[in-house]
Amino acid sequence: MKGNDIREAYLSFFETKKEHLRLKSFPLIPKDDPSLLLIGAGMAPLKPYFTGKVEPPCHRVTTSQKCIRTGDIENVGRTARHHTFFEMLGNFSFGDYFKKEAIAWAWEFLTEVIKLESSRLYVTIYPDDRESHDYWHDMIGLPESHIYPLSDNFWEIGEGPCGPDSEIFYDQGEEFGTDPENQMGGDGDRFLEIWNLVFSQFDRQKDGSYRPLDKKNIDTGAGLERLSAVLQKKKNNFETDLFFPIIQEAAGLAGVPYGRSAESDVALKVISDHTRAITNMIADGILPSNEGRGYVLRRVLRRAVRYGKLIGIDDAFLGRMIDVVVKMMKLAYPELMEKQAFIKKVAGVEEKRF
């Protein structure tokens, strides 16, 4: 399945089979949320629905949310999975269904819709969470050997809704390593986290305390890039159809084919990651500057240009990369096409300046 098909399969499963309202991705600039610089998770734009501050248009919502996270930017291109821009698939319940349905539907999607082998699926749970354990064990039928208690299974992103979680992992097999690092929750690639089910029960306050929410919610996040890697049987996200055409374009301009050396591959991966981020940030109204979001964009853009230089691209090249990104993403985000000329202009000016 192509990345575009996986996104559509997910959204349509929750929309048509599980009565969710499908919403468009919210922009990367948070609205009325001074606690966040950029949207970094599927639930972030939905916080007022979780806390009950605003009545949601439906108590079940599904989205594929554009996200930016730059905390680990130095790792991008050096690992199989770090990205500055990614899409998070999510199904959300605002005081509606809870653990039982969230677990059952995640399993149904993974094993019946995209047909992953159930014997390769493992889960982690918060150690005190017997309820989730029992749903996984008794309702789904997962053996104990596939259920791992993990004390850091608690998900939060700054202030706002948070809670214990249960993560679903895909075992890529022994050829991805057998060392302890590769256990669930480690940095290895063998057990790949593909979905996080957050049982959103608390509202984290500015002072760091946790206020119990009046209603219990479900917040989930499944990485589109990771699901694509699993289904396309690729060793890293960059080799999926969500990135590879960008890598090929950059490789063509540089005259350096993918696979030639570890260092040039890092550069090609960085360029593919960063140009997806640049394109979507500018499309959502962020302009390069020396502070805040504008600075994040400037830094990502300049890194892309620097890595281009490292592999021998001397002329301005971001415009060519942006064309490829728009072509790949326009099915899900048609607004990219309308803004294509503007995105290229903003990126081009900053590239020349740098």
Nearer CB in complex with ligand GLY: 30/221:
221
**Angle at which helices 224-231 and 3-12 cross, to 10°:** 120
- Residues 340/283, Cβ–Cβ less than 8 Å: no
Give the C-alpha separation, 69 to 136, whole Å.
31
- Residues 274/305, Cβ–Cβ less than 8 Å: no
Nearer CB in complex with ligand GLY: 163/308:
163
Nearer CB in complex with ligand GLY: 97/155:
155
Nearer CB in complex with ligand GLY: 103/271:
103
Binding mask 187-226 for ligand GLY (x = CB under 6 A): ---------x-x--------------------x-x-----
Give the C-alpha separation, 34 to 30, whole Å.
8
CB of 196 to ligand GLY, least distance (A): 4
User: Taking the CB of residue 179, how many other CB atoms lie within 10 A of it?
Assistant: 9
Stretch of 8-16, 36-44, 93-101, 141-149 lying at the interface with ligand GLY (CB under 6 A) = 36-44
CB of 44 to ligand GLY, least distance (A): 8
Nearer CB in complex with ligand GLY: 227/318:
227
Binding mask 38-67 for ligand GLY (x = CB under 6 A): ---xxx------------------------
CB of 347 to ligand GLY, least distance (A): 28
Nearer CB in complex with ligand GLY: 28/247:
28
Instruction: Name beta bridge partners: 182.
Output: none
Nearer CB in complex with ligand GLY: 219/239:
219
Which DSSP state fits 257? -
Structure token digits, residue 87? 């899409």
Give the C-alpha separation, 184 to 337, whole Å.
40
CB of 43 to ligand GLY, least distance (A): 5
Give the C-alpha separation, 14 to 58, whole Å.
13
Residue nearest to ligand GLY (CB): 221
Nearer CB in complex with ligand GLY: 199/317:
199
The answer to whether residue 3 forms part of the interface with ligand GLY (CB under 6 A) is: no
Stretch of 35-43, 175-183, 244-252, 270-278 lying at the interface with ligand GLY (CB under 6 A) = 35-43
Residues between 140 and 159 that touch ligand GLY (CB under 6 A): 155
Q: How many helices (H) and strands (E) does the chain have?
A: 11, 9
Give the C-alpha separation, 230 to 272, whole Å.
19
Rg (alpha carbons) of the chain, rounded to whole number: 20
CB of 314 to ligand GLY, least distance (A): 39
Stretch of 13-21, 37-45, 140-148, 169-177 lying at the interface with ligand GLY (CB under 6 A) = 37-45
Position of tokens 């208690």? 149
Cα first-last separation, the chain:
39
User: Taking the CB of residue 175, how many other CB atoms lie within 10 A of it?
Assistant: 9
* C-alpha dihedral sign at 118, 183, 86, 303: negative
Residues between 290 and 349 that touch ligand GLY (CB under 6 A): none
Interface with ligand GLY (CB under 6 A): 41-43, 155, 196, 198, 219, 221
